[in-house]
């Protein structure tokens, strides 16, 4: 068991300092590793900063990421395997899938970006 605190522990915004910035970078590393396991990685990686911010703000996804981080000992190993996702796999991959299909890239491909896209052209 790791004695280091999880990298995804949140701090109140007013207390974010250099350490908070480091935790944010560690959270991005974990999210990048998770995205690397996704079939949508090519589209999602450019959105890494936003996806990390959204994931940390969401209670369910944030808690799942903390559990995965601890299970994988990610702070020490820097590695993430599918097996490390455990029971959080469905929620985390569902989150990434939702982001993929709500992304401007996907919406543009189906004529819905900007919002309304081709539908508004009659």
Residue 43 in any domain: the answer is yes
- Per residue in 43-63, pLDDT (tens digit) is 999 999 999 999 999 999 999
Q: Which residues make Cβ contacts (< 8 Å) with residue 103, sequence separation at least 6?
A: 43, 44, 47
Evaluate if residue 118 carries a pLDDT over 90. no
* Total domains in the fold of the chain: 1
- Per residue in 85-105, pLDDT (tens digit) is 999 999 999 999 999 999 888
Which H or E run contains 30? Answer: helix 18-36
Residue 113 in any domain: the answer is yes
Domain span holding position 56: 13-121
Residue 3 in any domain: the answer is no
Instruction: Please tell me the predicted confidence (pLDDT) of residue 117.
Output: 56
- Per residue in 3-19, pLDDT (tens digit) is 444 555 544 443 343 44
Evaluate if residue 2 carries a pLDDT over 60. no
Instruction: Please tell me the predicted confidence (pLDDT) of residue 93.
Output: 98
Residue 2 in any domain: the answer is no
């Amino acid at each position: 068991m790791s004695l280091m605190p999880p990298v995804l522990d949140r701090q109140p915004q007013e207390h974010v300092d250099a350490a908070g910035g480091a935790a944010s970078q560690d959270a991005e590393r974990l999210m990048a590793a998770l995205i690397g396991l996704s079939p949508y990685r090519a589209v999602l990686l450019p959105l890494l900063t936003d996806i990390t911010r959204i994931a940390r703000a969401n209670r369910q996804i944030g808690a799942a990421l903390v559990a995965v981080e601890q299970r994988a000992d990610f702070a020490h190993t820097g590695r993430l395997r599918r097996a490390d996702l455990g029971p959080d796999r469905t929620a985390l991959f569902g989150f990434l899938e939702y982001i993929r299909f709500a992304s401007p890239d996907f919406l543009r491909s189906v004529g819905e970006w900007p919002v309304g896209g081709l539908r508004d052209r009659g």
